[in-house]
Structures are given as structure tokens and as C-alpha cells.
Structure 1
Amino acid sequence: MNWAALNFDWNQARAFLVTAETGSFSAAARALNMTQPTLGRQVAGLEEALDIVLFERIGRRLELTPAGQDMLTHLRAMGEGAMGASLTASRRSEAITGEVCVSVTDIFAVYTMPQLLTELRQILPQIQMKILASNTLSDLQRREADIAVRHVAPTQPDLIARKLRSNPAHLFASRDYLARHGPFRTPDDIARAELIGMSDPDELLFFLKDWGLPVTAKNLTVIGDSGVASWEFARQGLGVMPMTRDVAAFFPEMEIVLPDLPPIDVPYWLTVHRELHSAKRIRLVYDYLAEVLQRKKLPGPT
């Protein structure tokens, strides 16, 4: 192999790769936790080192040049190799100190995770827990998190997933909202309700219609990307919202709407990368979460 041909900096190559994948310097800078000017200088440095132009601006968009397209193919392979090396190193590590990042929804982070962390800190005080509270699915293959607790099963073949439980979900509303807009005695009555969601509007409508509720886009009065904020809107009397029974139990002022409507079961999936499953500190946290989430009752209000 001609080692002298490796005449560019991997940091510059990574800057180019992430920019190409995300589509903009600003998004790449956020992903790499650096300033946009620094990232721009790294991409420019790679262009200078290789004596080629990788991007051209078309309006506000970045477009790969033909040379950039060719480089992207090779650097994707390099990126996957670097990621594999990182995962293998994590797997080989037998240390039980260090950080473990767990990705959960913001609802889970606020209402369930505090009790879990209290117990976990007593069992594994030497491990630093990082909680990624996001309703966007974290990419475990790219090490955005080590472990994820989600309501959907992963599709990537390199991930290990276990379905640990299902929690019943109902429609809930505040007593104040029901006093002003109720009663809702049958599913047909929901056609006049104001609905609050925390996901894509089309996905929420599909979910509610599949539940047998005659709703349309006109019913969706508030949609947010934060489950905690949307639930607070419902608590403040702005409308009706689906929620799992374990979370709603924290709030006695929230009542089930249509109690005779069969609940929807919301699954809890625990996911980890196949390689990281063997890293001792990650395995310990994974096993703890698996044990707790399989309990009949999740930690919550007494």
C-alpha cells in the first residue's frame, strides 16, 4: 500500500462527510459540536489538500460536485470503518467506569427516569449517566446514544432489541376542559373535541382513526414536538390528548375520556448496538433497565 497517498487529515474528511450527509455546514457543525467557521475551514482544507472542489452553492443549498460525489463514496466506507473500530474498542473495554448515554422520549425522561436514576446511582455510582431526552429516534449505529428506550422496534440489523412491556393508553382531558366541552359519551362525540398531539399530524390522525375515532385535521388544534409541553397544554384545559396510564397517574386532575373505549397498548422497546451489548458498563445499565421495565408497575407516584 502506498501510505504516502494518505495525505489528508481525517478530521477534515469527517467534516466533509458529515456536511455531505446533513446537507449544510450549520447542521454538520451542530452534529460535530463545533462552530460553523471551523467546520468550513476544515472542508476548505480538504479541498486544498486534494486540489479539488467538493461543494458548490446553488442558492442557499450545497450541492456536491462530481468530484465530491466520488469522494463521498470512499469516505462513507472510511466512516463506517472508523465507527466499527470505535464500537469494537467499546466492546473490548471491561471498565465499569465512564459514561453511558441513554436515549428516551422527553415524557419518559421527566416522569419515569428520575426514579430509575435514583436507584441506578445507588447500584452503579461509578457510572456517569447521560440522558438524551428527544422524541427523535437516536441513531445507535452512529453512537448518538448507547441505549435507547422507545415505543417502536428498530429495523437496523446490527441492533439488539427487546420488547419488555406494554402500557395501556387512553384519551385524557382535564376536569376543566370536560366541564366546558363535555360530556363525551361515545367515540362519535370526539368529532367535536379539540385534540392535542406530540407527533406528526398525519401519523396522529392515522393512530386515532385506527382507534375508531372519527377525527379530521380540523380537530388537531395544537401539535408540538415536545411531549411534556403538549401534556401541559392538555393539563391547562386546551384539549384532549392520548397518554399512557402510568404517566397520567401523576396527575389526578386528568380524567380518562371515553373510559369504555378499549385502551391502546403502547410497547416499550429496549435497544442497544450488538457490539456495545458486550461492553461491561453498558451491559450493566442495559440489564438494569431491562429488569425495571419488566416490572408489573413502573416507578411513579405513590
Structure 2
Amino acid sequence: MQSFDWTLIQSFLAVAQSGSYSAAARKSGRSQPTIGRHIEQLQSQLGATLFQRATKGYDLTPTGRALLDHARTMQRAAAEMSLVTEGRAAEVRGTVRITASEIVATYILPELLAELLAQEPELQIELVATNSTENLLLREADIALRMVQPMQQDLIARRIGVIPIGLYGAPSYLARKGRPQQFEEIANHVLLGYDRSDLMIRGIAALGFPIKREDFAFRVDDQVTYMEALRAGVGLGACQKRQAERYGLIELLPELTIPPLPVWITAHSALRTSAKVRRVFDFLTDHLPGRL
């Protein structure tokens, strides 16, 4: 039976999932030439072509598609081995990888993590600011802060609080355009919304106010850019209340009830026996609710 270098399988999965060598390189942290060399080596060992050129990158061949599920099984097995080993670590030292939304990672976590690192000098933190859901089971993160309850098995999840949301405007904008007194009046204002995401459209519709993408005169999906545009007085927008208070934004239509965002902290069950992950998990659980 022929054996394969696991790194070749990792590169195969990265290209299969991302569709190009360059995207696979960014995802895996390897160089693009290394990814290409790994694919060539794997194809040579198998005696089969796994990818074919497409308009934008590479598509799997029938042979590649047939091997994809087997490669994913190997990936899950390797992740489980890593989890078991990690779970036996008894010291608070080494790296813990945290993923959180762009807003939480930018405006809330840095101060908390500064306190934690001051207390734990042997600890290192990797913070991933993303609104996508990182897969804890595949070790893409050790701890995740999410706005939805995770449904995956083998995860420890704890709801640690909610983030109140309101409608806000910067003093500079309100001085220029005036302050709306009822919801219907915001149609006369510049509204900040998302570009490709329909999350805000669906949220406003759920409140009984149908709205179209074009009703937002300023659109951006990056939440940090959205927040900075709101602070700069570009227009009116939804914002976390604590951040709005911190930056002097003025709440509008306080009678408007916007459902708060729940915050869940999650980790793989095997990692809860790791001293370093347990320390970070417990620290965030204890201190984060007061910062939301």
C-alpha cells in the first residue's frame, strides 16, 4: 500500500476548497509554488490528474472529486489526533487562536486580551477578525465568539450575554441634516447599510419596515469600515450601544426595539482539558459580559 505525505493531502484540500493555487496558499500559509509542487507530487504518486484548469482557477477532475471525501476523512482524523494531544497540555503556555466578529475583535477584545497577557506571560494569542464561521473541529480556531448558537457536536458552548443595538448618528451629521423624530423620517437621511450581505435588510423587514438595498446610500460589508463611516458622520446606522456611547454617537428613536445580538463562546470539548485554552475560555467568560 502506498503512503502519502500528509502535507500533500493538505495542499490538495486547500486547492479543492478555494479553487486556485493562490487562494490555497493564502489559506494554508504556504507559498504558491509550494502548493503547485505538492499537487504535482501527489498527482505523480497517484498516477492521475486531480485538477483541470477552469476560467477562474482550477476545478476537480472526476478522479479528484472521488478522492475529496477520503481526503476530508484524513483531515478530520488528523484534527482529532491534534485535539487529543492538545487536551493533555497542563501548562498555561503556547498559542491560543481566537476567532471573533470584526467589531468584537477590533473594539472589544484588545483591551481584555492585554489584561490576560499581562497575567500570563507564557501565553500567546492569535486573533482572527472575521464574520465567517471558523470550524473548531478542524482546528481553524481554538475558541470562537459567535452571534449564533453553534449546533456542531463535540463543542462546548456557553451564552455569555447579549449586545444591545440601537440606531445612531454622529453629532456632525445630525448638526448638518437634523434629527429624525420618527422612523418614517429616516427616508430623508443618508443610511449606512451592507453591500452584498442582506442581513440588515432582513433585520429591518422583521421590524415591519420593508427596505431595499438601494435605500442605503452608503454600503459596505466590512463592519469596521461601517463603524468608522458612522463615526465620521457619513449617515445614520445601527450600532452596538456600548460602542456608540464610547465614541459619542447620539441614539435616535430609542423607542425602536432592535433585537440584541446574543454572544456565544465555544471551544472543542477536547480542548477544555487544555490549561491554556481553559484559561482563555474562562477569562473571556468572566470578563467579556461586562464589555458588551
Q: TM-score range by the shorter chain?
A: over 0.9
2:240 equivalent to 1:244: yes
* 2:166–2:251 contact (8 Å) kept in structure 1: yes
Residue 159 (structure 1) aligned to one of 155, 175, 178? 155
Q: CA deviation at 1:214?
A: 4.5
Tell me what 1:182 maps to: 178
Tell me what 2:291 maps to: 298
Tell me what 1:145 maps to: 141
Tell me what 1:32 maps to: 28
* 2:21–2:57 contact (8 Å) kept in structure 1: no
2:82 equivalent to 1:89: no
* 1:158–1:273 contact (8 Å) kept in structure 2: yes
* 1:188–1:213 contact (8 Å) kept in structure 2: no
* 1:193–1:219 contact (8 Å) kept in structure 2: no
| Equivalenced residues, count | 292
Q: CA deviation at 1:152?
A: 1.7
Sequence identity, in percent? 34
1:213-251 Cα distance to aligned partner (Å, 9 max, x none):
453222212222322211111111111111111111211
* 1:192–1:219 contact (8 Å) kept in structure 2: no
1:166-221 Cα distance to aligned partner (Å, 9 max, x none):
12110111122223323311111122332213574422111122234453222212
Equivalent residue of 1:92, what SS?
A: coil
Q: CA deviation at 1:119?
A: 2.0
Tell me what 2:222 maps to: 226
Per the alignment, do residues 53 and 247 of structure 1 end up closer, same or farther by CA in structure 2, a change over 3 Å counting?
same
Tell me what 1:65 maps to: 61
Matches of 1:73 and 1:136, distance apart in 2: 23
2:256 equivalent to 1:270: no
* 2:75–2:138 contact (8 Å) kept in structure 1: no
Residue 164 (structure 2) aligned to one of 164, 168, 173? 168
Q: Unpaired runs of 5+ in structure 2? A: none
Per the alignment, do residues 71 and 165 of structure 1 end up closer, same or farther by CA in structure 2, a change over 3 Å counting?
same
Using the size of structure 2 for normalisation, the TM-score is 0.93
1:16-59 Cα distance to aligned partner (Å, 9 max, x none):
12211222222211111111111011101111111111111133
Per the alignment, do residues 201 and 181 of structure 1 end up closer, same or farther by CA in structure 2, a change over 3 Å counting?
farther
Tell me what 2:75 maps to: 79
* 2:180–2:186 contact (8 Å) kept in structure 1: yes
Q: CA deviation at 1:89?
A: 0.9
Per the alignment, do residues 212 and 179 of structure 1 end up closer, same or farther by CA in structure 2, a change over 3 Å counting?
farther
Matches of 2:122 and 2:139, distance apart in 1: 21
* 1:162–1:270 contact (8 Å) kept in structure 2: yes
Matches of 1:77 and 1:95, distance apart in 2: 31
Residue 256 (structure 2) aligned to one of 258, 261, 285? 261
Tell me what 2:123 maps to: 127
* 1:104–1:135 contact (8 Å) kept in structure 2: yes
Q: Unpaired runs of 5+ in structure 1? A: none
Equivalent residue of 2:65, what SS?
A: helix
Per the alignment, do residues 44 and 133 of structure 1 end up closer, same or farther by CA in structure 2, a change over 3 Å counting?
same
Matches of 2:156 and 2:217, distance apart in 1: 38
